[in-house]
Amino acid sequence: MKDFRYIKNVTTIELRRDQCVGCGACETVCPHQVFTISGGKAAIIDRDGCMECGACALNCPTKAIRVSPGVGCAAYIIQTWIKGPEKAACGPGGGCC
Amino acid sequence: MDIKPFAPACGCNDEQKMEHKGLTSFTPFILSSPALATDDTPCCGPPAGPASSPHERAGYAICPYVDGFVMTTEGFAPRVKTDLSVRDTLSNLLVRLNVNRNTHKVAPGLYAVGHPDASSPVLVTANYKLTFDHVRSHLKTAHAFILVLDTRGINVWCAAGKKTFGTEELVNRIRQVRLSGVVSHRNIILPQLGAAGVSAMSVKKQTGFSVIWGPVSSQDIPSFMADGMKARPEMRRLSFNLAERLILVPVELSIAAKPAVMALLALAVLSGFGPGFFSFTAFFQRGITAGATLLAGVVAGAVFTPAFLNRLPGSFFSIKGAVAGLVLTIPTALAFSRSWGISGFLGLVFVSTAVSSWLAMNFTGATPFTSPSGVEKEMKRSMPFQIGAVVAGLILWMMSAYK
């Protein structure tokens, strides 16, 4: 996936290293290898690779990672503008991305 | 719904296939097949077909991909074939063309492949039939259980984003199929892309089952299992190669088709207006020109951009789409619009390039690497230009009729 890069400096991901226990869950679940474990703690090594799926934050035992998760889909975002985030669905006719 | 398949039930098509290796409580309460008359001679007409399988139940049909039933301590689990039939392949092909996509699903619950026993692994997946078929077709030599979650017929990745492939559904499904009775171990294997919806800690706390994160792609399941349930780094990475992009194109096109046809009609009607108010000759002649250019824009945004995604310049999809749009619509407009001058040419290029840019931007939803913050940013930046180009293009195109 290194040949596909999306817009830089937009991701909302935040790692608080002081809260990290170095379990490595984030490194395992991230499909874009944003994290690595170094010196017993997680570190962000590819910030712009993050697509804000939220897997790391959801699986972090100490809530050391924060990200505003969501779906990177234009059709979905339009719906959040029109109908609000609760009623939005991706794709027309209740289908999906 | 109290539909747990318990006894009385047995030996579907052939009782010999029934496996109960390693399970002690196999005490099938067998209904012997309704005693066939000792002399099989039918009273009239052709010979009677086989007797109904005791696994058949009133109001239910046994799915064609089920080839038997496996006894577990908690009842029977349907065993699924690991070879896809022509029918499976055909229906999966149709789904790729956006036919029956919203109803292409299997019933959630516990399935089996091979001859699993209480120590066999449990793989969790979505109830999108395409996903389910991928998983079972990669379990040819395995003896395992497949726990299918109700993701409303949506793939793991998208369902995880919506939390239907989520902690709550997984916990409930583990309880519903009484998984802790079916297997003696306490591990479940989840696809890595399900991590956006499932908190492994929470599942462990609520059910006692530990989540093992499996590979991203089901084709790596055999080597993941061979390596002792370890995914190598390359199995944890997403890919988005040319074939993986092109397979999405028919759905993109079919989603674009309806608005594109409406835009085409509107553009053709607009093309009819001119000095003599409305002319059917112009409607056809100018309409065909406009239609061809618009079509080039649709192809640029929904086919060309996905195909050359990594080659087109820009990080914004809208820019990639605009570039693709210019490349395809300029020659098309030149070929068709000579008689309508520079204003006609520019008008059509503006409109069609905006269409291409818009469609390309919508492709963000089909990719596995765009962040919502990024998509929102590019939409806010690009939409004013896209709308502006359409308005300006339409004005120029209308003006070209009054040269």
pLDDT tens per residue, range B326-369: 999 999 988 876 677 888 899 999 999 999 999 999 999 888 88
Q: Do B315 and A55 touch (CB under 8 A)?
A: no
Q: Do A59 and B315 touch (CB under 8 A)?
A: no
CATH number of A14-94: 3.30.70.20
Is the residue at B198 inside a domain? Answer: yes
Q: Is B156 in contact with B183 (CB distance < 8 Å)?
A: no
Name the residue with tokens 């109960």: B20
Q: Which long-range contacts (CB under 8 A, 24 or more apart) does B214-219 make?
A: B214/B123, B214/B189, B214/B190, B215/B191, B216/A31, B216/B191, B216/B192, B218/B125, B218/B131, B218/B134, B218/B135, B218/B138, B218/B191, B219/B134, B219/B138
Q: Is B321 in contact with B357 (CB distance < 8 Å)?
A: yes
Q: Do B101 and A72 touch (CB under 8 A)?
A: no
Is the residue at B270 inside a domain? Answer: yes
The pLDDT value given to residue B224: 95
Domain boundary among B210, B238, B266: B238
The pLDDT tens digits for B30-69 are 444 444 444 555 567 778 888 888 888 899 989 999 999 9
The pLDDT value given to residue B110: 97
Q: Which residues of B touch A34 (CB under 8 A)?
A: none
- CATH code, domain with B174: 3.40.50.11600
Domain ranges of chain A: 14-94
Q: How would residue A75 be classed by pLDDT, with cut points 50, 70 and 90?
A: confident
Tell me the nearest-neighbour CA distance from A79 into chain B, angstroms: 12
- What distance in Å separates the CA atoms of residue B151 and residue B200, rounded to the nearest whole number? 18
Indicate the number of domains in chain B. 2
Question: Is the confidence at residue B27, as pLDDT, over 50?
Answer: no
Q: Are strands B277-278 and B66-72 parallel, antiparallel or unpaired?
A: unpaired
Rounded to the nearest integer, the mean pLDDT of chain A is 85
Co-location of B136 and B269 in the same domain? no
Is the residue at B4 inside a domain? Answer: no
Whole-number Cα distances in Å, B43 to B48, B49, B85:
10, 13, 36
The pLDDT value given to residue B211: 97
The pLDDT value given to residue B26: 42
User: What's the length of chain B?
Assistant: 403
Candidates A31, A76, A94; nearest CB to B216:
A31
Co-location of B228 and B261 in the same domain? no
The pLDDT tens digits for B134-167 are 999 999 999 999 999 999 999 999 899 889 999 9
Probe site for chain B from A2, A4, A76 (most B CB atoms < 10 A): A4
Co-location of B223 and B247 in the same domain? no
Is the residue at B211 inside a domain? Answer: yes
The pLDDT value given to residue B28: 45
Q: Is B206 in contact with B186 (CB distance < 8 Å)?
A: no
Is the residue at B298 inside a domain? Answer: yes
The pLDDT value given to residue A2: 65
The pLDDT tens digits for B221-232 are 999 999 999 999
Co-location of B234 and B252 in the same domain? no
Tell me the nearest-neighbour CA distance from A60 into chain B, angstroms: 8
A65-92 burial, b if ≥16 CB within 10 A, otherwise e? bebebbbbbbbbbebbeeeeeeebbbbe
- What distance in Å separates the CA atoms of residue A71 and residue B368, rounded to the nearest whole number? 10
Co-location of B318 and B364 in the same domain? yes
Domain housing B358: 243-402
The pLDDT value given to residue A90: 56
Candidates B102, B315, B362; nearest CB to A8:
B315
The pLDDT value given to residue B83: 94
Q: Is A15 in contact with A64 (CB distance < 8 Å)?
A: yes
Average pLDDT rounded to a whole number, residues A51-63: 95
Question: Is the confidence at residue B273, as pLDDT, over 70?
Answer: yes
CA B127 to chain centre: 10
CA nearest neighbour of B69 among B59, B86, B88, B54: B54
Is the residue at B252 inside a domain? Answer: yes
Residue B92 CB contacts under 8 Å (≥ 6 apart), including other chains = B84, B104, B129, B130, B133
CA neighbours within 13 Å on the CB side: how many for B11?
14
Average pLDDT rounded to a whole number, residues B253-267: 88
Q: Is B121 in contact with B187 (CB distance < 8 Å)?
A: yes
What does DSSP assign to residue B302?
I
Q: Is B324 in contact with B300 (CB distance < 8 Å)?
A: yes
Co-location of B270 and B147 in the same domain? no
**φ, ψ (nearest 5 deg) of residue B187:** -125, 140
Residue B336 or B264, more confident: B264
Average pLDDT rounded to a whole number, residues B4-16: 36
CA B19 to chain centre: 33
The pLDDT value given to residue B24: 40
Question: Is the confidence at residue A78, as pLDDT, over 50?
Answer: yes
**CA dihedral angle for residue B295, residue B368, residue B245, residue B249, rounded to 10 degrees:** -40
The pLDDT value given to residue B242: 92
Percent over 70 (pLDDT), chain B:
89
Q: Are strands B273-274 and A35-38 parallel, antiparallel or unpaired?
A: unpaired
Query: Is A74's Cβ below 8 Å from some Cβ in B?
Result: yes
Q: Which residues of B touch A65 (CB under 8 A)?
A: none
Co-location of B75 and B151 in the same domain? yes
- Helices within B208-316 (DSSP H only): 221-226, 242-246, 249-272, 280-299, 305-307
Co-location of B222 and B274 in the same domain? no
Is the residue at B313 inside a domain? Answer: yes
The pLDDT value given to residue B39: 52
Residue A10 or B186, more confident: B186
Co-location of B249 and B228 in the same domain? no
The pLDDT tens digits for B91-114 are 898 888 888 888 899 999 999 999
Domain boundary among B183, B216, B238: B238
Question: Is the confidence at residue B16, as pLDDT, over 50?
Answer: no
Percent over 70 (pLDDT), chain A:
85
Nearest residue of A to residue B372, measured between CA atoms: A72
Is the residue at B16 inside a domain? Answer: no
The pLDDT value given to residue B97: 87
The pLDDT value given to residue B42: 55
Q: How would residue B387 be classed by pLDDT, with cut points 50, 70 and 90?
A: very high
Domain boundary among B198, B217, B238: B238
The pLDDT value given to residue B135: 96
Range from A89-93, B212-216, B256-260 that averages highest in pLDDT: B212-216
Q: Is B118 in contact with B182 (CB distance < 8 Å)?
A: yes
Co-location of B201 and B223 in the same domain? yes
Question: Is the confidence at residue B381, as pLDDT, over 60?
Answer: yes
